[in-house]
Structure 1
Amino acid sequence: MNRICTICARGGSKGVKNKNIRMLDGRPLIAHSIEQALATGIFATIAVSSDSDDILVAAREAGATILVKRPEEMASDTAAKLPAIRHCFTEAERIAGTRFDTIVDLDATSPLRIPQDIIEAVEMLESKRVSNVITGMPSRRSPYFNLVEINDNGAVELSKKLPYKVVRRQDGPPCYDMNASIYVWSREALLNNDAIFVADTRLYVMPEERSIDIDNELEFEWVEFLLNKQKEARHRV
């Protein structure tokens, strides 16, 4: 299998200013995802897409092998991410002059994943021969127990109902939060689908402590705290 890792990181950020190149544990945030991809040893190419020259420079310094300038229309606050991933992939194929079978997109704002998460998500896709794999973590809330909606009459009701009463969250069907950390596609699925969920999408489950997606200052501080705890633990061994 010829595999490519893409990392799409735009320059604008409202929750955390310049978050993709903000220093985290001594290096830019985006460098963590690039280093994880390199550590897996399974990628022929690591391509980074951005509308920001500063991000592309940081990506090159961290070890990215192909840099793709993202078009402005794919870098707005309202732009969907899937077209940006597809653009990065097709540009990388053109620049590298090769065809990739498996595409892995890593979210630059999820730096707590480990290389083994990436390897196992890829193995799930390739061994099961499915279209794509997404990642998630066990949900703290359940639509069958404590996740509610307001109906047309203004009343509160559970988001999903079962034919039996659920008295504990654990008694309902298992539910998961998408953590946006790792997306894996076959080439055909990425190029021919405009939705994340298709008939054979699979889920790779990660623990909560590796699933934080940085979207605000509190989450950035929480990731810094967890990284420091990890370093302290390694030093005690």
Structure 2
Amino acid sequence: MTLICTILARGGSKGVPGKNIRPLAGKPLIAWSIEQAKATGLFALIAVSSDDADILAAGQAAGADLLVKRPAEMATDDASKLPAIRHCALEAEAALGREADIVVDLQPTSPLRLPEDIAAAVALRAETGAQSVITGQVAKCSPYFSLVEEAPDGVASLSKTLDRPIVRRQDAPRCYDMNGSIYVWTRAALVDEPSVFYPTTRLLVMPEERSVDIDTQLDFLFADFLMRRRLGAAGDAMVSQQ
């Protein structure tokens, strides 16, 4: 079975300018995702797609197998990511000379995932036969208990209700926040009908500390702190085993 990995990094970040190549715990942000993909040993090819030459150069330096210049129309503020993922996957197939069976997309702004998370998402798709797998974390707000919407007239109410009242969060249906860290598709699903959700989509739940998505300066500082703490803990563990 042939698996390819796509990593898409646009150059026009507004919240954190230059974030995809900004150093996080000593490495360009995008390098963490490339290294995690390589560490799994799952992929026939790892492709980085960007509209930005500096990002592509950073991807090459971090060990990406293929650099894909993203078309300008797929790199605007309003552009959906799905067409760009599909474009990158097709470019990867052309470079390989064969079609992939599975496409995995890693969000470069989610550096705290582990290679084991990627492998688990791929395994979940294989075990269930799902068209796609998404990742998420336990939701902080439940639409059945604490997430509210405001109507045009200003009246606030729960986003979702059930026939029975929910008096404890623990009694509400389980809900999750998508973290965007990992997406897994069958080739047919992504190429023929690009979407996030399909009738058979499955969810891989990740812990909160590995689900940070960098969208603001504060997110970046927090992710840098967590990564440095992880690296420090790994170093301490190695010392204790000697």
TM-score range, shorter chain: over 0.9
Whether 1:99 aligns to 2:88 is no
Distance 2:31 2:172 in 1: 39
Given that 1:51 and 1:75 are in contact with CA atoms closer than 8 Å, whether structure 2 keeps it comes out as yes
Q: What is the percentage of aligned positions where both structures have the same residue? A: 57
Unpaired segments of 5 or more residues in structure 1? none
Distance 1:50 1:232 in 2: 32
Tell me the residue number matched to 1:35: 35
Given that 1:82 and 1:194 are in contact with CA atoms closer than 8 Å, whether structure 2 keeps it comes out as yes
Report the 3-state secondary structure (helix = DSSP H, G, I; strand = E; otherwise coil) of the residue aligned with 2:42. Answer: coil
Unpaired segments of 5 or more residues in structure 2? 238-242
1:121-160 matches, cutoff 5 A: 121-160=121-160
4+ runs deviating over 4 angstroms: none
Report the 3-state secondary structure (helix = DSSP H, G, I; strand = E; otherwise coil) of the residue aligned with 2:121. Answer: helix
Tell me the residue number matched to 1:55: 55
Tell me the residue number matched to 1:74: 74
| Superposed CA RMSD | 0.9
What whole-Å deviation, never above 9, does each CA across 1:84-141 have from its counterpart, x for those lacking one?
Answer: 0000001111122111100000000000000000001001111211100000000010
Could you tell me which amino acid in structure 2 is paired with residue 16 of structure 1? V
Equivalenced residue count is 237
The alpha carbon displacement at 1:151 in A equals 2.1
Structure 1 residues 41 and 194, CA gap change in structure 2 (3 angstroms): closer
Distance 1:95 1:171 in 2: 51
The alpha carbon displacement at 1:192 in A equals 1.6
Could you tell me which amino acid in structure 1 is paired with residue 190 of structure 2? L
Could you tell me which amino acid in structure 2 is paired with residue 75 of structure 1? A
Distance 2:101 2:160 in 1: 38
Given that 1:145 and 1:168 are in contact with CA atoms closer than 8 Å, whether structure 2 keeps it comes out as yes
Distance 1:153 1:54 in 2: 48
Distance 2:195 2:185 in 1: 12
Scaled by the length of structure 2, the TM-score of the pair is 0.96
Distance 1:84 1:99 in 2: 17
Scaled by the length of structure 1, the TM-score of the pair is 0.98
